[in-house]
Amino acid sequence: MRMVRSGGTAGRLRRAATVGALVAALSGVAACTGTAPGGPATAGTAPAGAPVTVAATPTGAPTGAVGAAPARVPDVLRFSGTTLGGAAFDAAQFAGRPVVLWFWAPWCATCASQAWTVAEVEPRYRDTVPIIGVAGLGEPRAMREFVTEFDLGATRQLNDQKGALWRRFKVTEQSIFVIIDRDGRIAHQGFLDGEALTARVAALAGA
């Protein structure tokens, strides 16, 4: 049998074709590993300003949260309701952080004087100490007009026209603030003027 030397023209062509195929294959592997034009990024990091996607574990919990138990929902936060806008509300979402419930009525002059403070303080501490209004002792239309008049539209307001939450917290008059600490204990229940409310919310936010 006649052997063909690898140094001939046919051998060179086959080697060139093989090298081209390897280059193409390696380029495809590099693309799958996330290498971008300009060079590969450092392993485990993302370029500044790039969106980061959090991978989910099989249980649906974000990576890095494996083994982290959810906050226990205290009995005081085991209630739900509906906002004046008609949205569903579940107090369990506030488990593990302080929250303030403000019981008010639309015709209450004291509530009106406190509304300006709530409208000012609530956005500032919304992420750390949310203030939730609990409107009662009136018609929904009057409640919504009160919210509009005092710029409370950004603050969650519950429609408690039937008084279920007022009875649950044994509120017999307005305006009353119920402050629940991060451990689910009622730290205060009663009247607060604007200055006292601001001081208490600020203290809870810094605790």
167 domain residue, yes or no: yes
Average pLDDT of span 3-31:
39
Question: Residues 146-166: pLDDT tens digits?
Answer: 999 999 999 999 999 999 999
Same domain, 82 and 169: yes
* pLDDT value, residue 194: 94
**Residue type for position 170:** K
Q: Identify the band that residue 71 occupies on the pLDDT scale cut at 50, 70 and 90.
A: confident
Quote the domain boundaries for residue 21. 7-37
Count up the domains in the chain and report the number: 2
1 domain residue, yes or no: no
Question: Residues 51-69: pLDDT tens digits?
Answer: 322 222 232 333 334 445 6
Query: Domain with 119 in it: what CATH number?
Result: 3.40.30.10
57 domain residue, yes or no: no
Residue 44 has pLDDT above 70, yes or no: no
56 domain residue, yes or no: no
Same domain, 22 and 114: no
28 domain residue, yes or no: yes
The average confidence (pLDDT) of the chain is: 75
Question: Residues 82-100: pLDDT tens digits?
Answer: 999 999 999 999 999 999 9
User: What DSSP string runs through 3-69?
Assistant: PPPTTSHHHHHHHHHHHHHHHHHHHHHHHHTT-BTTBPPPTT---TT---PPPBPTTSPBTT-TTPP
Same domain, 98 and 23: no
Same domain, 169 and 82: yes
User: What DSSP string runs through 130-174?
Assistant: -EEEEE-SS-HHHHHHHHHHTT-TTS-EEE-TT-HHHHHTT--SS
58 domain residue, yes or no: no
The pTM for the full model equals 0.66
99 domain residue, yes or no: yes
* pLDDT value, residue 69: 62
Residue 8 has pLDDT above 90, yes or no: no
**Residue type for position 11:** G
User: Minimum mean pLDDT among 8-12, 32-36, 76-80, 199-203: which range?
Assistant: 32-36
* pLDDT value, residue 133: 98
Same domain, 32 and 115: no
Residue 115 or residue 62, greater confidence: 115
86 domain residue, yes or no: yes
